[in-house]
Structure 1
Amino acid sequence: MGRDRWAGTAWLVVLAGCVVLRIILGASESDLLVTVAPYMVITIATPFVILYGTVRHRPPHRAGWFLLFAAQVFYALADSLAVADDYLSGEFLEPTPADLLYFTYYLLFATAILVFIRRRTPGWDGPSVIDALVIAISAGLLSWIYVLQPLTSDSELPLNAKLTQSAYPVLDLMLLILAVRLVMGAGTRGPVLYLLLSSMTLMLGVDAAYLATAIADGGAVSEAYLDAFWMLSLGLLGLAGMHPGIRHFDRRTDTALPDASPARLGALAVAVLMAPGVQFIEWLRGSPPSVPLISGACTVMFLLVLARMSGLVAAQRRAAITDGLTGLRTRRYFAEALSAESRRSLRSGQGLGLLIIDVDHFKKINDGYGHPAGDQVLREVARRLSSATRAGSVVARYGGEEFVVLAPHTAADELYALAERLRSEIADLPIAIDDDLLSVTVSVGAAAGGPGRGPSGGVCGEPEFLLRTADEALYAAKAAGRNRSVLAGTTPVPH
Structure 2
Amino acid sequence: MAGRFVPAWLVCALGQLLGTMVFFALPMGQVQAALMVTLNAMCVVALVVPARRQHSGATGWYALALGQALSAAAWVCFYLYPLAAEVTVMAPSLGDVLWLSSYLVSALGLTVLARAQGADRVSVLETASLATAAAVVMWVFFVADHASASGMSLAARLVNAAYPVLDVLLLVSAALLVFTGRRCLRSLLLAGWVLLQLTGDVLYNIAVLDGSFALGGPGFAWWLVSFAALSAAALAPEGAQATVVPAWVRNAALVLVVLPLPVLLIIRAVQGSSADVAVIAGGSLVVTALTVARWSAFDRDAKISCAARRALRRALLRLCAVIMAVALLPLAGLAYLSVHQATAVAEADVERRLGTSAEVSAAYLGDKLAALRALVASYAERRLLAAELARGAQADPALLQRHVTALESRDPAFIGA
TM-score, length-normalised on structure 1?
0.55
Residue of structure 1 aligned with 2:298, choices 312, 319, 324:
312
**Which residue identity lines up with residue 209 of structure 2 in the other structure?**
I
Deviation of residue 232 (structure 1)? 0.7
Residue of structure 1 aligned with 2:192, choices 198, 214, 231:
198
- Give the whole-Å Cα distance in 2 for the aligned partners of 1:199 and 1:307: 30
Query: For residue 401 of structure 1, what is the aligned residue in structure 2?
Result: none
- Give the whole-Å Cα distance in 2 for the aligned partners of 1:98 and 1:152: 20
Query: For residue 114 of structure 2, what is the aligned residue in structure 1?
Result: 117
Q: Does 1:273 align with 2:251?
A: no
Deviation of residue 243 (structure 1)? 2.3
Deviation of residue 256 (structure 1)? 6.9
Deviation of residue 221 (structure 1)? 4.6
Distance 1:297 1:16, change over 3 A: same
Residue of structure 2 aligned with 1:40, choices 34, 37, 41:
37
Which structure exhibits the higher relative contact order, with contacts defined as CA atoms closer than 8 Å and separated by 6 or more residues?
2
Residue of structure 1 aligned with 2:231, choices 233, 238, 248:
238
Query: For residue 163 of structure 1, what is the aligned residue in structure 2?
Result: 158
**Which residue identity lines up with residue 63 of structure 2 in the other structure?**
L
Deviations 1:262-296 (A, max 9, x none): 11111111222211222344567786542212111
Deviation of residue 76 (structure 1)? 0.8
Deviations 1:17-37 (A, max 9, x none): 222222334xxxx34213334
- Give the whole-Å Cα distance in 1 for the aligned partners of 2:206 and 2:268: 17
- Note the 1:410-425 alignment, pairs <5 A: none
Deviations 1:137-163 (A, max 9, x none): 111111111111111221122111111
Distance 1:224 1:130, change over 3 A: same
Distance 1:89 1:146, change over 3 A: farther
Gaps of 5+ in 1: 322-495
Deviation of residue 238 (structure 1)? 0.4
- Give the whole-Å Cα distance in 2 for the aligned partners of 1:164 and 1:144: 14
- Note the 1:92-131 alignment, pairs <5 A: 92-121=89-118, 125-131=120-126
- Give the whole-Å Cα distance in 1 for the aligned partners of 2:269 and 2:215: 33
Residue of structure 1 aligned with 2:68, choices 72, 84, 89:
72
Query: For residue 398 of structure 1, what is the aligned residue in structure 2?
Result: none
Query: For residue 327 of structure 2, what is the aligned residue in structure 1?
Result: none
Greater helix share, 1 or 2?
2
**Which residue identity lines up with residue 188 of structure 2 in the other structure?**
Y
- Give the whole-Å Cα distance in 1 for the aligned partners of 2:159 and 2:86: 19
Distance 1:185 1:10, change over 3 A: closer
Contact 1:43–1:76 at 8 Å: present in 2 too? yes
Q: Does 1:141 align with 2:145?
A: no
Deviations 1:315-356 (A, max 9, x none): 3345x79xxxxxxxxxxxxxxxxxxxxxxxxxxxxxxxxxxx
**Which residue identity lines up with residue 147 of structure 1 in the other structure?**
F
Percent identical = 25
* Helix, strand or coil at the partner of 1:225: coil
**Which residue identity lines up with residue 281 of structure 2 in the other structure?**
S
Greater strand share, 1 or 2?
1
Contact 2:16–2:39 at 8 Å: present in 1 too? yes
TM-score, length-normalised on structure 2?
0.65
Deviation of residue 79 (structure 1)? 0.9
- Give the whole-Å Cα distance in 1 for the aligned partners of 2:139 and 2:82: 28
Residue of structure 2 aligned with 1:153, choices 131, 148, 154:
148
- Give the whole-Å Cα distance in 2 for the aligned partners of 1:209 and 1:31: 20
**Which residue identity lines up with residue 201 of structure 1 in the other structure?**
L
Deviation of residue 108 (structure 1)? 2.1
- Note the 1:74-89 alignment, pairs <5 A: 74-87=70-83, 88=85
- Give the whole-Å Cα distance in 2 for the aligned partners of 1:94 and 1:181: 33
Distance 1:283 1:86, change over 3 A: farther
Deviation of residue 89 (structure 1)? 5.7
- Note the 1:465-476 alignment, pairs <5 A: none
**Which residue identity lines up with residue 19 of structure 1 in the other structure?**
T
Query: For residue 360 of structure 2, what is the aligned residue in structure 1?
Result: none
Bigger Rg, which one: 2
Distance 1:33 1:282, change over 3 A: farther
Distance 1:287 1:21, change over 3 A: farther
Distance 1:52 1:297, change over 3 A: closer
- Give the whole-Å Cα distance in 1 for the aligned partners of 2:269 and 2:196: 30
Contact 1:135–1:271 at 8 Å: present in 2 too? yes
Contact 1:279–1:289 at 8 Å: present in 2 too? no
Distance 1:3 1:46, change over 3 A: farther
Distance 1:52 1:307, change over 3 A: closer
- Note the 1:190-229 alignment, pairs <5 A: 190-217=184-211, 221-222=214-215, 224-229=217-222
Distance 1:269 1:105, change over 3 A: same
Deviation of residue 184 (structure 1)? 0.9
Deviation of residue 9 (structure 1)? 4.6
Residue of structure 2 aligned with 1:63, choices 54, 59, 66:
59
- Note the 1:342-381 alignment, pairs <5 A: none
- Give the whole-Å Cα distance in 2 for the aligned partners of 1:53 and 1:315: 33
Deviations 1:26-62 (A, max 9, x none): xxxx34213334322311222112224544xx12332
Distance 1:9 1:310, change over 3 A: closer
Deviation of residue 310 (structure 1)? 2.6
Higher mean displacement: 276-285 or 133-142: 276-285
- Give the whole-Å Cα distance in 1 for the aligned partners of 2:214 and 2:179: 34
Distance 1:293 1:238, change over 3 A: same
Equivalent pairs counted in the alignment come to 303
